[in-house]
A and B are shown apart, each in its own frame.
Chain A
Amino acid sequence: MTAATERKQALLQRRQDATDARIAALGAVPGAGWQARPRAEALARLRAMGLPQPRDEYWKWTRPETLTQPEAPTAATFDAQTAPTYDAIDRLTLAFVDGVFDAEASDPLELEGIEIERLATSEADIHWAQDLYGALETNGQTPVERPLAALNSAYATDGILIRVTGKPSKPVNIVYHHRDDSSDACLHHVIRVEPGAALTLLENGPAAARFNQVIEVDVADTGAFHHIRTQGRDHERRAATHIFARVGQESLFKSFTLTANGVLTRNEAVIDIIGDDASAHIAGAALGDGDFLHDDTVFITHGALNGESRQVFKKVLRNGAQGIFQGKILVKPGAQKTDGYQISQSLLLDEASQFLAKPELEIYADDVACSHGSTSGAIDETALFYLRSRGIPEPIAQNLMVLAFVAEAIQEIDDEIIAAEILAQLEGWLARRQR
């Protein structure tokens, strides 16, 4: 055997061993009734792919070990009274503590315009979610494999299933609490927005020491889905999340994530535009200080006419924090008049921090407008001096510049009250670090 072949075989073996060890630790696949088949299929996908390894191209900047190993690394809980609450917004609240549904802290699962239920208690033989659960995830496995999502589809212990048939009067808010140092949560939500219906989903909180999450969203023709997520303020928690969205004709999909702190976060979004005249926007603001690695991995596929997509990602990094962006726009043959925009930027507040970006465009239609940009830079000293020369102390001037930098991502949030709440969180994060 050549050395190269030996190395390849060793890698295969490591992948196999890691996957076997994780599956053994997880034990039997949960779920009965309609869930049995998609979960069994997901397990088969996971076995076939194997868990990600450090040498994988798709994981070259984010080491996957702590996300794939059987035991979740411990993470101290963080008592943050000032964590986002959306108090100013009337909403239907659903609470999870370390991945376990907390009925007492949750509102009744009732809201006009939606059917809502828990994954763990929906084990009838026939269910609307059976055509979606694991199905959008499966579609999202090509051309790039996402084994942690397959693991989730197989082993998710719970989640929320929402079928949106109208325009509910308030958003659904899933709140995640992290109270156990070694919790390992695995949740899977499925959302189907019927034609002409609209839902706003708010998520906030750190969920667990380690969190594996999948959200599958199917937005039917003329439907609208708004998603605003904040991932808590815990410093040591880890998360691997996936959003798989299918976007129909004349429909709207919008997702925004604020990530402040967390040693490791990998947020993947796989968005498939299948109907004409549809829009998909995905945005994120990440704030890292010290031991922090934040990875946005996005794949948007335009498969229809007149599609519009936007990716806006901003990262503010200090004290050696690391930011990763892997973003792709794929325009399929015939997807004419596609308008795709992608921007990923980092503001490095010191020289120890680092931003790595891989923006990609792959276009097979000739009448499209796609653009992408990626920048990495420090605070503009000239602008900083200008502000200071007007009497604004340096730390405040710097914060103004940071907020200005992040503004384009925040502007992706349509609702003004929610946007103001997100902005307040950002300001809080900056104020706590003001020298």
Chain B
Amino acid sequence: MLEIKNLHVKLEEEDKQILKGVDLTVEAGKVHAIMGPNGSGKSTLSYVLSGRAGYEVTEGSATLGGEDILDMEPEERAAAGLFLAFQYPVEIPGVGNMTFLRTAVNAQRKARGEDELSAGDFLKVVRERAKALEIDADMLKRPVNVGFSGGEKKRNEILQMAMLEPKMCILDETDSGLDVDAMKLVADGVNALRDEGRGFLVITHYQRLLDHIKPDVVHIMSNGRIIKTGGPELALEVEKNGYADMKAEVA
């Protein structure tokens, strides 16, 4: 599904290398987790994959379903099936959440040569999926993320994911700023989307999210590289011993 090979990335504005050769393959139907200390390059990886400006790929490749995504515009990547749940969802005053969702869904359908959803059909689907995430009519009416609590913003991300039905979902520290109940709600939303045709890449600092979203593969990232890959037990090891031991192993 998602295939990253020898990816090197530096900041556009300064000569600072962030990713120094990342290799990673996420298969359809699988959940991969990336853990790692602050500054290891986890979030940069998610931004580079989704097409945010400010980064320069100096070497390597990233493909989604065999298609090179690094040359695509952000909206083309989305239409190709990539979705990033932001660590800090953006507030957009004046743009209604519902308008935003409908515009996004229909833009993607159009890009894929499908018919746009009618207002009625759209409304039916969005209500049903919002309900599962305990997103009420008021949150749908309000401007995108404006005045939302941390938990509401994250649930709104998952709603977008549910509406857009991407092939490959990247969750960037979706657990940050969530209490236990909110985390469970978000995790349930993600688990409901688990499907054999869909891949997940879950970026997190902590093991606790992985109690709810059970990964198939866990990667440890440090200093711009994946330094260790294993099963779910790797996350537990990090929880117990921190990253220091692993870094020492590699060094």
Residues of A within 8 A of B (CB): 380-383, 385-394, 396-397, 400-401, 403-405, 407-408
Contact in complex: A400, B107 (CB < 8 Å) = no
A397 to chain B, nearest CB (A): 8
Knowing A391-B79, A404-B92, A404-B93, say if A385 contacts B52 (CB, 8 Å): yes
* 8 A-B pairs with C-beta separation under 8 A: A389-B74, A389-B84, A389-B86, A390-B164, A393-B73, A401-B92, A404-B93, A404-B143
Contact in complex: A390, B99 (CB < 8 Å) = no
Of the candidates A386, A403, A404, the one having the most CB atoms from chain B within 10 angstroms of its own CB is: A386
Chain B contacts with A in 86-111, Cβ cutoff 8 A: 86, 89-95, 99-100, 103-104, 107-108, 111
Inter-chain contacts of B108 with A (CB < 8 A):
391
Contact in complex: B164, A391 (CB < 8 Å) = yes
Contact partner of B94 (CB less than 8 A), chosen from A381, A385, A397, A403, is A403
Contact in complex: A387, B94 (CB < 8 Å) = no
Classify the secondary structure of A's interface with B: helix
Inter-chain contacts of B92 with A (CB < 8 A):
380, 383, 386-387, 401, 404
Docked complex Cα distance between A313 and B107 (Å): 31
Inter-chain contacts of A385 with B (CB < 8 A):
51-53, 74, 90
Residue in A closest to B95 when the chains form the complex, CB atoms: A404
Inter-chain contacts of A390 with B (CB < 8 A):
75, 78, 83, 100, 104, 107, 160, 164
Docked complex Cα distance between A389 and B47 (Å): 10
Docked complex Cα distance between A387 and B75 (Å): 8
Knowing A386-B86, A390-B100, A391-B104, say if A407 contacts B94 (CB, 8 Å): yes
Inter-chain contacts of B222 with A (CB < 8 A):
none
Contact in complex: B100, A387 (CB < 8 Å) = yes
Residues of B within 8 A of A (CB): 50-53, 73-75, 77-79, 83-84, 86, 89-95, 99-100, 103-104, 107-108, 111, 143, 160, 164
Contact in complex: B90, A386 (CB < 8 Å) = yes
Contact in complex: A388, B78 (CB < 8 Å) = yes
Residue in A closest to B74 when the chains form the complex, CB atoms: A388
Docked complex Cα distance between A382 and B94 (Å): 15
Docked complex Cα distance between A394 and B77 (Å): 13
Residue in B closest to A404 when the chains form the complex, CB atoms: B94
Contact partner of B78 (CB less than 8 A), chosen from A391, A404, A408, is A391
Of the candidates B90, B94, B164, the one having the most CB atoms from chain A within 10 angstroms of its own CB is: B94
Docked complex Cα distance between A386 and B90 (Å): 7
Docked complex Cα distance between A388 and B107 (Å): 10
Contact in complex: B95, A401 (CB < 8 Å) = yes
Contact in complex: A400, B100 (CB < 8 Å) = yes
Docked complex Cα distance between A408 and B100 (Å): 18
Inter-chain contacts of B94 with A (CB < 8 A):
401, 403-405, 407-408
Docked complex Cα distance between A267 and B228 (Å): 67
Inter-chain contacts of B77 with A (CB < 8 A):
389
A377 to chain B, nearest CB (A): 13
Contact in complex: B103, A400 (CB < 8 Å) = yes
Docked complex Cα distance between A392 and B104 (Å): 5
Of the candidates A386, A391, A407, the one having the most CB atoms from chain B within 10 angstroms of its own CB is: A391
Residue in A closest to B89 when the chains form the complex, CB atoms: A386
Contact in complex: B78, A396 (CB < 8 Å) = no
Residue in B closest to A386 when the chains form the complex, CB atoms: B90
Residue in B closest to A399 when the chains form the complex, CB atoms: B103
Residue in B closest to A403 when the chains form the complex, CB atoms: B94
Docked complex Cα distance between A394 and B107 (Å): 11
Inter-chain contacts of B86 with A (CB < 8 A):
386, 389
Inter-chain contacts of A392 with B (CB < 8 A):
75, 103-104, 107
B212 to chain A, nearest CB (A): 24
Inter-chain contacts of B50 with A (CB < 8 A):
389
Docked complex Cα distance between A381 and B74 (Å): 13
Contact in complex: A396, B95 (CB < 8 Å) = no
Docked complex Cα distance between A104 and B51 (Å): 59
Docked complex Cα distance between A401 and B143 (Å): 12
Contact in complex: B73, A383 (CB < 8 Å) = no
A274 to chain B, nearest CB (A): 35
Inter-chain contacts of A408 with B (CB < 8 A):
94
Contact in complex: A393, B107 (CB < 8 Å) = yes
Q: Which A-B residue pairs are the 7 nearest by beta carbons?
A: A404-B94, A391-B78, A391-B108, A390-B104, A386-B90, A388-B74, A407-B94
Knowing A396-B107, A404-B92, say if A389 contacts B78 (CB, 8 Å): yes
Inter-chain contacts of B84 with A (CB < 8 A):
389
Contact partner of B73 (CB less than 8 A), chosen from A386, A394, A404, A407, is A394
Contact in complex: B107, A391 (CB < 8 Å) = yes
Docked complex Cα distance between A405 and B108 (Å): 24
Inter-chain contacts of A397 with B (CB < 8 A):
75
Inter-chain contacts of B91 with A (CB < 8 A):
383
A431 to chain B, nearest CB (A): 14
B204 to chain A, nearest CB (A): 20
Docked complex Cα distance between A128 and B90 (Å): 57
Inter-chain contacts of A407 with B (CB < 8 A):
94
Inter-chain contacts of B73 with A (CB < 8 A):
388, 393-394
Inter-chain contacts of A403 with B (CB < 8 A):
94-95
Inter-chain contacts of A401 with B (CB < 8 A):
92, 94-95
Inter-chain contacts of A393 with B (CB < 8 A):
73, 75, 107, 111
Contact in complex: A400, B99 (CB < 8 Å) = yes
Docked complex Cα distance between A389 and B53 (Å): 12
Knowing A381-B53, A393-B107, A404-B92, say if A388 contacts B100 (CB, 8 Å): no
Docked complex Cα distance between A44 and B58 (Å): 75
Inter-chain contacts of B160 with A (CB < 8 A):
390
A385 to chain B, nearest CB (A): 6
Of the candidates A383, A394, A403, the one having the most CB atoms from chain B within 10 angstroms of its own CB is: A383
